[in-house]
Chain A
Amino acid sequence: GQNIDQPTEMTATEGAIVQINCTYQTSGFNGLFWYQQHAGEAPTFLSYNVLDGLEEKGRFSSFLSRSKGYSYLLLKELQMKDSASYLCAVRDQNNAGNMLTFGGGTRLMVKP
């Protein structure tokens, strides 16, 4: 089975940087995804990591350490529209059907 933990809520200021952590325990690891979900809307794909290190995509970056079972999503130059929930999801190595296990999500509030 898998266990995925992330903070429930975070608050940050417009223009600042925020880091959202995700820790996981899995019997086999085959990739970690981050999704963004605005209230009342569908989750949308942000990033994917399968090897250790940092993946950068504009204002968003995602980091993975497989040995530590740890990932973070880094958001720079925060904007009000970044207020949303951020979901961490892990794919199991033994998973033939592209199934994901999701964490509970982190609700980020960006304040002026």
Chain B
Amino acid sequence: DVKVTQSSRYLVKRTGEKVFLECVQDMDHENMFWYRQDPGLGLRLIYFSYDVKMKEKGDIPEGYSVSREKKERFSLILESASTNQTSMYLCASSISRGGLQETQYFGPGTRLLVL
């Protein structure tokens, strides 16, 4: 079974703090993704990476950065947290060289509250 883990289930931070969200997958997947999920807005892609040290902006990258130093680990960084970044953050991974129906596998999510 594919396993995607995230460093925290719940996190409370203050405005202006630097926040690190870590994601690790154990299936040697090339692709990794960071989404945020908000009521009524669904999942929105923040950043994704298709290889080590590679990153691409998603639909809403402003206020975020990412790091992929190792294939299994993809980190999301909030340089200076703001209250509008309070959200559920979901990490996902997928294989790149598989068939068309290769799905994304999601981690359990990190619920971040910025005060």
Number of residues on chain B facing chain A (CB within 8 A)? 27
CB distance from A31 to the nearest CB of B (A): 6
By a CB distance below 8 angstroms, the chain A residues around B90 are 42-43
Q: Which of A34-83 contact B (CB under 8 A)?
A: 40-45, 48, 50
| Contact, CB under 8 Å: B40 / A8 | yes
Give 1 or 0 for each of B38-67: 1 = CB within 8 Å of chain A CB: 001111110010100000101000000000
In this complex, what residue of A is CB-closest to B88?
A40
A104-B106 contact in complex given A42-B90, A96-B50, A98-B94, C-beta closer than 8 Å: no
How far is it, in angstroms, between the C-alpha of A70 and the C-alpha of B49 when the chains are bound?
A: 29
Q: Which residues of B contact A (CB under 8 A)?
A: 4, 31, 33, 35, 40-45, 48, 50, 56, 58, 90, 94, 96, 100-109
Which of B45, B103, B107: most chain A CB closer than 10 A? B103
B101 interface neighbour in A50, A96, A100, A101, Cβ under 8 Å: A50
4 additional A-B residue pairs with CB within 8 Å, beyond A99-B58, A104-B40: A8-B40, A43-B90, A48-B103, A100-B45
In the bound complex, how far is the Cα of B102 from the Cα of A45, in angstroms?
A: 10
A50 to B58, CA, bound (A): 23
Residues of A whose CB lies within 8 Å of any CB of B are 8, 30-31, 33, 40-45, 48, 50, 87, 89, 96-105
